[in-house]
Amino acid sequence: MPSFARYRRICLLLFLTLLLAQQAAAQSTVSGTVLDTAGQPLPFATTVLLRLPDSTLINSQPTTEQGSYAFSGVKPGSYCVQALLLGYTRRRVAFLVDKPMVAVPPLRLASAATALGEVAVTGTPPLLEQHADRTVVNVARLNTAGETALELLKKAPGVTLDKDDNVLYRGSGGVTVLLDGKLTYLSGAALSSYLKSLPASAISQIELMPNPPASLDAAGTAGVLNIKLRRSQLAGLSGTSTVGAGYGRYEKTWGGTNLSYNAGKTRLFVRLDGGRYNSFNYLTMRRTIRDSLFHQQNRWRPLTYTGTFAAGADVALTPRQSLGLQLRGSTDQTTALSTSTSVATDLAGTPGSRRQMTNPKQSTLSNQALNVSYRFAFDSTGRELSADADYVRYASANDQRFNNMILTTGSGQWSPAEQLRSAAASETTIRAAKIDYTHPVAGTKWRAETGAKTSWVTSRSAIGFEQLQDGSWQPDALRTNQFRYDEHISAGYFSLNTSYRRLELKAGLRGELTQTSGYSATTTQRVRRRYFQLFPSAFASYQIGAHDQVSASVSRRISRPNYQSLNPFLNYTDFYTAQRGNPFLAPSLSQSLALNYLHKNFQLLSLSYLHETNSVNQVVTQDDNTNVSTSTPQNLAQTTTLTLSSGGHTAITQWWGADNELSGSYSRVSTPVEGRPLRLARYSWALSSTHTFSLPRSYKLTVSGDYNSPAVMGLFYTRANGQLSLALKKQFRAERGTLSLRASDILNTSRFRSTLRYNNVNQTWNNQWESRRLSLVWTCKIGSGKTQTRHAAASADEEGRVGH
């Protein structure tokens, strides 16, 4: 009942916001589409609304992925809409605004053989664009020289990383990450590895959706992040090629190419990226166990080779029908050497036993995904049917050797301790299909959407341990395990949206039936679940004036555990630490509210409220007899995060621009741990600032920094951290080539420091990585183009829960 009452208050607040918005003056909405000569939509074309007869600029906006646009709050009179897109001829159409809803005839743009040097780009998109259900970050406003997609995500409002480089949004790990509208099909370490291999220069936009619409999967208690890659719309062959090198403590190199070929009714694209990354991670831990202190130092030195690819085609079968095919995948091969040193002392510092471990490891990660999509436009009003089908496969394997040595007090001699080796493998297959239908209600401002989806997941994993005994390797039954997981999700949704004068409204309801079965052959544990959940969502956006906009959204969402976290096997880390899965994990549920106020694309005020029940977090338990700490994913009873932020772009002079964001948060965790109540709460704040200076001779200098105060992250109390970076960019040959030099974290202050204090656990962590480095990147433009969005995938939540 308390959760329902809280949700009811949120809905009442949203209703009052909508009620106040009804005071708008009578104005009209002007909408239409931009197409090519084959009748295919042209996404991200620029549409400009001009008042006649003096051609006064009223507003401008890019078209959506369906090639549509809509101007609200238009006063009666004579107007024209002009459409522009690089590589196409301009078109304009005049019309009269004399009724609430004005439909402009489709603007059809013909391909133009225009040389790049003849095109002058006089404007840049704002850093932030606020829509009724999402915030868009335009990456073109940021200097991303030498950065990866994972590093870029940290620059998005509300996005951070935890100690293991897992993506957090709004203070929660319950976030779903999409790539071009499709699930990345990865989570945890696998997702981090994939994003590290993807250069930030390949990204055009990041969409942040704290309360996504009902058409998307309900997965992600904190919301959805959608990474949009660059796509060229030019006729013929165009794209970019990038090569880079960096050095911190060790060297690293990477390169890639992103090409498109557009020929009439067929559009082809291919993206290839690869890299060699030599890096390190250094973790120091201090644990107090009764009257003893344990000092532990772990060093990890991985050498990783990564490769990602994507290729696809869109074919216009008829002016109203199109077929899409996309194949993508990635591979990650890592050879790493881990070393661990543990020293035990009493509270007075008298040395006790000392242990050392060396752990050579080889691992591989790979995934392949095939997507087939179909689209049928019934007419030019927006009535449309689309369908998607996905087949995805993930595989991982790793081999490890654990060589333990012990130095006992007074002996002065090292002697072998437990000697182990392991081989682990897992494979996950996802099959999914979805269908969506959009229907504008004739003669009204209403637009309806409905759809259905089904998915099947099979996950198989096995780990085998052996222990060296009397000179031969013997099976270790305690640590050997096999695990099987099956899941079937059926979903359906319905949503409505409309506009009333300056007000835009959207509401939807999604239902999902989940059936799961997990079985451990070794422990004979079997856990079955079957549950049905409803997920309502609502959005409102009100244009107060020409430069001011307020929006509100509310939703209920779910996060299901990733498949590997359900596996109950014990994963040996070193002599004193281990990890274990939890087959009894329950799904997390959340209630979420977001309020935003924008002035000239500056987010003057943003309020975010997120309340989660059963959120999944790593919980450390400690055995005082063996001195072993085990990390297990567990459900936390209640977690709440309230955030107030402000930020955006400020043009200080014509040559100096600043992008700043300031946020304050209150985080609270209330949960039992091993039968004892635990409550953590803390206020925190964060600041980020990026200053860009346009210098003579096509140089651009960027100075950026950020600071995060102490905060609560799961059961961790984190300490303050921050970083300062410099970047210099030079453009050549009419901007066809760009050379970028970047010095990241020049003060070497970016690290994860935290404490764990509850029950009998008393630990401090200090995790440092290769954040300080110098990067040099060369980017060559092959033609030029705009960004283009791909179809949304049928497989959604289930792919985002693949973790290794």
For residues 534-558, give the mean pLDDT. 89
CA triplet 11, 12, 13: central angle to 5 degrees? 90
Q: With a cut of 70, say whether residue 330 has pLDDT above it.
A: yes
- Asked whether the predicted pLDDT for residue 412 surpasses 90, the reply is no
pLDDT band at residue 125 using 50, 70 and 90 as cut-offs: low
Q: What is the pLDDT of residue 783?
A: 65
Cα separation, 433 vs 694, in Å, equals 48
Q: Does 26 score more than 70 pLDDT?
A: no
In the chain, what percentage of residues exceed pLDDT 70?
A: 87
Highest-scoring range by mean pLDDT, 38-47, 96-105, 281-290, 485-494: 485-494
Q: How crowded is residue 800: how many other Cβ atoms within 10 Å of its Cβ?
A: 25
Span 118-142, average pLDDT: 59
pLDDT in tens, 358-379: 999 999 988 898 999 999 988 7
Mean pLDDT value across the chain: 83
Q: Are strands 577-580 and 628-651 parallel, antiparallel or unpaired?
A: parallel
Between 45-49, 146-150, 433-437, 797-801, the lowest mean confidence (pLDDT) is in 797-801
pLDDT level of residue 232 (50, 70, 90 thresholds):
low
* pLDDT-based confidence at residue 353 (cuts at 50, 70, 90): confident
CATH topology match: 28-114 vs 128-800: no
Q: Mean pLDDT throughout 24-44?
A: 73
For the chain, how big is the Rg over CA atoms in Å?
27
The whole-number average pLDDT for the span 176-201 is 74
pLDDT at 146 (0 to 100)? 63
CA 634/CA 628 separation, integer angstroms? 18
Q: Exposed (0-12), middle (13-18) or buried (19+): which is 342, by Cβ within 10 Å? A: buried
Sequence-ordered list of residues with C-beta below 8 angstroms from that of 465, at least 6 positions apart, any chain: 420, 421, 422, 475, 476, 478, 479, 480, 572
Least confident of 11-20, 492-501, 738-747: 11-20
In this prediction, residue 749 carries a pLDDT of 93
Categorize the per-residue pLDDT at 799 as very low, low, confident or very high, splitting at 50, 70 and 90. Answer: very low
Q: How far is CA 374 from CA 193, 318, 437, 730, in A?
A: 31, 12, 12, 42
Q: Is there a contact between 577 and 628 (Cβ–Cβ < 8 Å)? A: yes
Q: What is the DSSP string of 156-211?
A: STTEEE-TT--EEETTBS-EEEEETTEE---BHHHHHHHHHHSBGGGEEEEEEESS
Q: What is the pLDDT of residue 120?
A: 35
Helix (H) / strand (E) containing 149: helix 149-153
Which residues are paired to 549 by β-bridges?
543, 598
Tokens 């940021």 found at? 142
Residue 597: phi and psi, rounded to 5, are -130, 120
- Pairing of β 28-36 and β 107-109: parallel
Name the pLDDT band for 712 (thresholds 50, 70, 90): very high
- Is pLDDT of 395 > 80? yes
Q: In this structure, are residues 712 and 168 in contact, taking their beta carbons and an 8 Å threshold?
A: no
Weakest-pLDDT range from 121-135, 316-330, 670-684? 121-135
The pLDDT of residue 20: 38
**Where is average pLDDT lowest: 67-81, 127-141, 721-735, 740-754?**
127-141
Portion of the chain with pLDDT greater than 90, in percent: 34
For 290-304, what is the mean pLDDT? 90
Nearest Cα to Cα of residue 102 among 117, 133, 81, 87: 81
- Max CA separation in the chain (angstroms): 97
Residue 16 has pLDDT above 60, yes or no: no
Most confident option among 112-121, 238-247, 453-462, 598-607: 453-462
Q: Return the minimum-mean-pLDDT range out of 204-213, 387-396, 409-418, 453-462.
A: 409-418
DSSP bridge pairs for 332: 306, 365
Domain boundary assignment for the chain: 28-114, 128-800
What's the pLDDT score for residue 637?
A: 94
- List the beta bridge partners of residue 765: 285, 754
More reliable by pLDDT, 558 or 733: 558
Per the rule left: phi > 0, alpha: psi between -120 and 50, beta: everything else, 38 is alpha
Q: Can you give the pLDDT at residue 92? A: 84
pLDDT(209) > 70: yes
Query: Counting beta carbons within 10 angstroms of the beta carbon of residue 12, is it exposed (0 to 12), middle (13 to 18) or buried (19 or more)?
Result: exposed
For residues 346 and 525, give the distance between their C-alpha atoms in angstroms, rounded to a whole number. Answer: 41
- CATH, range 28-114: 2.60.40.10
User: Which residue, chain included where needed, has tokens 């609200």?
Assistant: 72
* β 503-520/203-209 pair status: unpaired
Higher per-residue pLDDT: 209 or 234: 209
Task: Decide if pLDDT at 541 tops 50.
Answer: yes
pLDDT for 115: 31
What distance in Å separates the CA atoms of residue 446 and residue 34, rounded to the nearest whole number?
A: 21
pLDDT at 804 over 50: no
**pLDDT band at 788; cut points 50, 70, 90:** very low
Instruction: Output the pLDDT for position 11.
Output: 45
pLDDT reading at 787 higher than 90: no
Q: Is the pLDDT of residue 335 over 80?
A: yes
- Which of 685, 608, 787 lies closest to 227 in space, CA to CA? 787
Query: Tell me, what's the pLDDT at 756?
Result: 93
In CATH terms, 128-800 corresponds, of 2.40.170.20, 3.30.1370.160, 3.30.70.260, 3.10.20.30, to 2.40.170.20
Of 120-124, 375-379, 522-526, the one with minimum mean pLDDT is 120-124
pLDDT of 802 reads 57
Q: What is each CA distance from 169 to 214, 217, 539, 615, in whole angstroms?
A: 20, 17, 20, 13
CA–CA separation, 695 and 145 (whole Å):
17
DSSP codes, 473-540 = EEE-TTT-EEEEEEEEEEEEEEEEEEEETTEEEEEEEEEEEEEEEEEETTT--EEEEEEEEEEEEEEE
Interval 780-790 mean pLDDT: 55
Q: Which helix (H) or strand (E) holds 414?
A: strand 414-440
Nearest CA to 800 out of 152, 194, 165 is that of: 194
